[in-house]
Amino acid sequence: MLTAKQHELIRFIQQRLEDTGISPSFEEMKEALDLKSKSGVHRLISALEERGFIRRLPNRARALEVIKQPEDATPAVKRPVAANDPVTMSRAAAARTPEPANDIIDVPLHGRIAAGAPIEAIEGQSSMPVPAALLGPGEHYALEVSGDSMIEAGIFDGDFALVRRTDSVRDGEIVVALVRNEEATLKYLRRENGKVRLDPANGMYDPQIYDAHEVVVQGKLAGLLRRYH
């Protein structure tokens, strides 16, 4: 069962695809659904994707495909067109042309996180604009990296880690780990002998080993942003 907004969004995407051959931008979806921000659109798309109603086509920022319609959806009536109809030909050409990756999502920015010894992860109220093409399904947030213990993984002090919220991760993935309910750190996570080992990616640092109940996974690394000054 879809929510009213999910239902409205999938109808809007399908109608736009039928009319133009191009999926709508995040801005167009935000306006059509009367949402306050494009992050709301991103959450709706992620929910529809996870439930198998739509999928993102690779290598294009504005490329969505409707896989199935809700059971109570009314099929759209397609008008007959001539094969050499210039409007149809123009739409087909536009559909073949990759769209620029210009859709932006505002994700919450939650302060700084250690890539060294654990430090407190500061919860903030600010947000950060992120290209939608960098984000997959699910809910995301950003953290500013502090420290150098993950440099061999290409993560440097001052980078912004894009994190997908999840508590389900595999051994060897880079995660945001909350340690003893007070400090957060960015590390490789491995489980062994009932313990949790948080491994750095810098030979100057030693692994950190904790009892399993002392570590709570708050997400896994989905991407990085770096500012050049």
Chain-centroid distance, C-alpha 2: 21
- 54, 64 Cβ separation under 8 angstroms: yes
Pair type for strands 140-146 and 104-114? parallel
Pair type for strands 64-66 and 140-146? unpaired
Q: State phi, psi for 107 to the nearest 5 degrees.
A: -110, 150
Q: Other C-beta atoms within 10 Å of 2: how many?
A: 18
Report in angstroms the alpha-carbon separations of 213 from 64, 119, 200, 217.
41, 19, 20, 11
DSSP summary character for residue 212: G
Catalytic residues: 149, 187
Torsion of CA 169, 172, 178, 181, to 10 degrees: 80
